[in-house]
């Protein structure tokens, strides 16, 4: 029996905030995670010229075939294309990448176990390895049927802040959400022996027909989410659900290396330029650096660094304790005492008292930072170039910013001073009621999402077929993903729906080339 059914956009999301207060430590101080050399005035002018959008669609731009700069992998396209290391990685770093890959793929087991280096799973968990969610280092997917697993998709859970103290903490970016009191921040549908799982996510779909120009029709899947068999009593009556598929892992280190100031320069919370696009930054407290930082990662940009993203996933998805999440019982709440009392895998003698020690977390972080972006295909194909012009002329680049230049770094040669093409501004945008989850996260309200980077998107099906897109995998094609756009992107969606079919086909062909 479903105890909670939440169709998308069932609740009215709050209106977008029209102002943004940038914390002083973000606006005025250097990025603490980057050992960056300050840019000269001449460099800033040079960068501004390089990242200016093109107006020539007769040929590919210089360096466009290398979207990850010198880190771009030029290896043959196959199912392993998202698992390649930065092409400019020094030889002496290859071992760290391979060991990090091993930890990323490791299957964790419950405690106590004779395999002490791999025990500590759970007690509640969503997956037994990082690779289980990020399939071949690509994106996850919703279950294909009733018998398919739900390993690479899960439900975020939270409740509204109900006290002045919690409201103040969120306003100050010290918290991004208030976890559900009994179930925590996400629904974990698996558990070790002797501990009840939290429940089972159920997904239902209905089809919605969409008429396009030239007699073409499309069909969109409208999802509904619910929780069956809750293991720890009723959920809070005001609980908010948000489904999330695991995103692709490529290019994370390059996105992390973009100076915060460059990202903030594209923010336009009051739509001062009148183009209908109001990109806003998200911010989050970093336990690693003990300060508020710009959010870059996650579907709502709620996490500031790759290391924190890795640590959060170890704790939340697998119940693996680490230096940023020291509790051996993972996400178990005070309402889940059987979970808290279960054995854990912390061993003070060989793992710093954590289930994955500091060096292990650093190796996974290094691996995650250096999963290379694949080279572009067919960048100078006439149809692709026409699609690129349609993409630009339609206004898609207002959110999907084509280019950045990363900081000049002293300790990360792979990411240092690279011209990159992520096609994302890493800012929040109101995507309208169709995609709204009604669940705020930090500065993001219930209808806002971070602009998804598009690099590598055309290889999604190559890595894990069939392809699924958007935050919950509802879109079965790139066209469906475009047709779900609304809010700030409503005008662009309408333009795609009404443009001549050859232009629409060229646009999709361009996206497939990324």
Concatenating the DSSP letter of every residue in 173-235 gives TS-S-B-BTTTBTB---EE-TTS----EEEEEEEEEEEE-GGG-EEEEEEEEEEEES-BTBPP
Query: Shortest CA distance to 514 belongs to which of 370, 387, 377?
Result: 377
Distance CA 101, CA 89 (A): 15
Looking at the domain assignment, is residue 221 inside a domain? no
Exposure letters 13-43 (e unless 16+ CB within 10 A, then b)? beebbeebebbeebeeeebbbbebeebeeee
Give the count of domains, the chain: 1
CA torsion sign, 333 to 444 to 454 to 69?
negative
Looking at the domain assignment, is residue 76 inside a domain? yes
Please state the φ and ψ torsions of residue 158, each to the nearest 5 degrees.
Answer: -165, 170
Query: Shortest CA distance to 343 belongs to which of 13, 121, 178, 167?
Result: 121
Looking at the domain assignment, is residue 504 inside a domain? yes
Exposure letters 347-373 (e unless 16+ CB within 10 A, then b)? beeebbebbbbeebbbbbbbbbbbbbb
Looking at the domain assignment, is residue 232 inside a domain? no
Distance CA 235, CA 256 (A): 36
Looking at the domain assignment, is residue 194 inside a domain? no
Distance CA 139, CA 464 (A): 8
State residue 17's pLDDT score.
42
Looking at the domain assignment, is residue 358 inside a domain? yes
**Count of H helices and E strands in the chain?**
15, 15
Q: At what angle do helices 358-369 and 94-105 cross, to 10 degrees?
A: 100
Contact 299, 186 (CB under 8 A): no
Query: Shortest CA distance to 17 belongs to which of 374, 364, 440, 451?
Result: 440
Looking at the domain assignment, is residue 161 inside a domain? no
Query: Shortest CA distance to 425 belongs to which of 389, 455, 397, 446?
Result: 397
Domain that holds residue 74: 20-123+249-513
Please, what is the Cα angle at 430 between 428 and 435, to 5 degrees? 110
State residue 144's pLDDT score.
83
Task: Give burial (CB, 10 Å; 0-12/13-18/19+) of 483.
Answer: buried
Q: What is the value of pTM for the model shown? A: 0.94
- Contacts for 136 with CB less than 8 Å, ≥ 6 apart: 79, 80, 82, 83, 463, 464
Looking at the domain assignment, is residue 27 inside a domain? yes
- Mean pLDDT per 10-residue segment, the chain (514 residues): 37 45 89 95 96 97 98 97 98 97 96 87 96 94 79 95 97 97 97 95 96 98 96 97 97 98 94 91 97 98 98 97 95 94 79 89 98 98 98 98 98 98 98 98 97 98 95 98 98 98 98 98
State residue 147's pLDDT score.
67
State residue 117's pLDDT score.
84
Contact 30, 36 (CB under 8 A): yes
Distance CA 100, CA 33 (A): 20
Distance CA 76, CA 455 (A): 17
State residue 18's pLDDT score.
46
Distance, CA of 339 to chain centre: 29
Report H helices in 118-163. Answer: 130-133
């Amino acid at each position: 029996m479903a105890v909670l059914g939440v169709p998308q956009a069932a609740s009215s999301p709050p209106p977008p905030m029209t102002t943004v207060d940038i914390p002083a430590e973000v606006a005025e101080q250097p990025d603490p995670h980057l050992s960056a050399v300050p840019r000269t005035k001449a460099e800033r002018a040079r960068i501004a010229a390089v990242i200016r959008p093109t107006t020539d669609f007769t040929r590919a731009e210089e360096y466009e075939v290398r979207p990850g700069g010198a880190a771009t992998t030029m290896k043959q396209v196959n199912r392993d294309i998202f698992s390649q290391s930065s092409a400019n990685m020094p030889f002496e770093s290859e071992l760290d990448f391979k060991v990090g890959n091993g930890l990323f793929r490791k299957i964790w087991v419950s405690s106590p176990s004779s395999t002490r280096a791999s025990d500590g799973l759970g007690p509640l968990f969503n997956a037994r390895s990082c690779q289980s969610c990020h399939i071949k280092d690509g994106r996850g997917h919703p279950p294909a049927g009733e018998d398919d697993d739900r390993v690479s998709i899960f439900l975020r859970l939270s409740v509204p802040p109900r006290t002045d103290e919690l409201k103040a903490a969120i306003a100050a970016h010290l918290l991004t959400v208030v976890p559900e009191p009994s179930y925590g921040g996400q629904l974990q549908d698996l558990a070790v022996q002797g501990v009840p799982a939290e429940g089972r996510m159920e997904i239902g779909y209905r089809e919605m027909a969409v008429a396009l120009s030239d007699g073409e029709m499309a069909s969109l899947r409208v999802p509904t989410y619910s929780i069956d068999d809750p293991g720890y009593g009723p959920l809070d009556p005001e609980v908010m659900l948000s489904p999330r598929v695991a995103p692709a892992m490529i290019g994370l280190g390059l996105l992390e290396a973009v100076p915060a100031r460059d990202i903030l320069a594209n923010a336009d919370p009051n739509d001062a330029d009148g183009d209908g696009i109001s990109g806003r930054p998200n911010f989050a407290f970093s336990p690693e650096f003990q300060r508020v930082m710009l959010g870059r990662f996650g579907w709502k940009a709620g996490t500031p660094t790759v290391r924190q993203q890795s640590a959060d996933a170890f704790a939340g998805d697998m119940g693996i304790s680490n230096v940023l999440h020291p509790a051996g019982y993972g996400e178990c709440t005070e309402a889940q005492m059987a979970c808290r009392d279960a054995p854990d895998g912390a061993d003070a003698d060989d793992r710093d008292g954590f289930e994955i020690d500091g060096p292990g977390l650093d190796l996974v972080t290094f691996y995650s930072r250096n999963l290379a972006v694949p080279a572009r295909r067919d960048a100078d194909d006439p149809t692709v170039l026409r699609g690129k012009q349609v993409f630009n002329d339609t206004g898609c680049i207002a959110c999907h910013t084509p280019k950045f230049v990363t900081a000049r770094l002293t300790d990360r040669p792979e990411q240092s001073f690279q011209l990159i093409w992520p096609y994302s501004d890493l800012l929040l945008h109101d995507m309208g009621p169709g995609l709204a989850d009604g669940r705020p996260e930090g500065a993001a309200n219930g209808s806002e999402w971070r602009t998804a980077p598009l690099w590598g998107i055309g290889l999604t099906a190559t890595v894990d077929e069939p392809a699924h897109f958007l935050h919950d995998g509802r879109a079965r094609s790139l066209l469906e993903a475009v047709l779900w756009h609304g809010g700030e992107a409503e005008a662009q969606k309408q333009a795609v729906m009404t443009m001549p079919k050859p232009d629409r086909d060229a646009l999709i062909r361009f996206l497939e080339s990324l």
